[in-house]
A and B are shown apart, each in its own frame.
Chain A
C-alpha cells in the first residue's frame, strides 16, 4: 500500500514514486523533509532546486533517485534515467555526506574531520560523482539540503 503516492496532490514536500518505497528511499525522503521543515535556509534551497540526483549505495546494492522539482521532491526506488548527478559510494560515506558542515557562501566544509573523510573517499575513488562537471552548484545545493549540520 502506498504511503504517499505520486498522484497525490503536491501539498506534501516529499512524495514517493513507488507504491512500496524502499527503506533507503523512506529514510532519505524523511531526512530531507525534516531538514526542510525545520530550517528556513534549506527550504529556500529546496524551493529553488530543479535536478535529478541519483544515489547508489555500493555496499548494500540499493539506490534512489531524488527528483527535485522546485519545492517538491519525488523519491524513486533505484536509479531512474536522465539524472543530472549520480553519487556512488558506501553506506558510511552517505551518512558522512549528510554530516558535512556548511561553511562560508554555503559551501560544504571539507577541512574538518568529516569533510576530510569525504574528500579522502573521493581521492580513493570510493566516492564517485558522475555528472559533476557543469553541476557543481547543484551538488552544493543538494549537499546543503541533505546536511543535518
Chain B
C-alpha cells in the first residue's frame, strides 16, 4: 500500500521492513543508540515544514520508528540531516547513503567510529526505505 512520505503510516511500514530484514538483524547486532533523521523543509517541493524521524534501534531490531519534529530527531544519539529532496533520492535508491555522507549531501552528527562500524547495517536500513511504496508530496 502506498503511503505518504514521512507520515505515521510510512514510519510503520518502514519499521516492518527493518524488522523483516535478516541482513539488518545480523549487521546491527550490538547497536544500542537512537537515530534521528531530520528532513529539512523545501516549500517549492510541497514539503513546507521540517520533520523528524526518531528511530529506536536496539541489537538488530527496530523497537520503534516515529515521525515527529526536527527537534525530536535532533535529540537522538546519531542525527542525519538533509533536505527533503535528498531524502527522496535516498529512499528511491538514486543516492547511496554512504556516498551521500562522504560528499556532505547527508550531514551526520554522532560518534564516527560507531557509525562506520555499522556501515552494513545503515546500508541495509537504506535498502529497507526503498521497499516502502511512497507517495511523494512533490508528485501530487
Contact = CB atoms under 8 A, between A and B. Distances in A.
Contact of B102 (A27, A34, A148): A27
A95 B116 contact: yes
B104 A35 contact: no
Given A91-B96, A95-B116, A99-B119, A24 B111 contact: no
Given A27-B112, A34-B112, A91 B117 contact: no
Contacts, number: 50
A62 interface: yes
A57 B96 CA distance: 14
A99 B111 contact: no
A22 B102 CA distance: 9
Interface residues of A, number: 23
A30 interface: yes
A35 B113 contact: yes
Given A95-B116, A149-B117, A60 B102 contact: yes
A95 B99 contact: no
A60 B116 contact: no
Contacts of B96: 91
Contacts of B105: 23
Nearest to A61: B103
Nearest to B114: A148
B7 interface: no
Interface in B96-111: 96, 98-99, 101-105, 107-108, 111
B113 A34 contact: yes
A59 interface: yes
B104 A23 contact: yes
B107 to A, nearest CB: 8
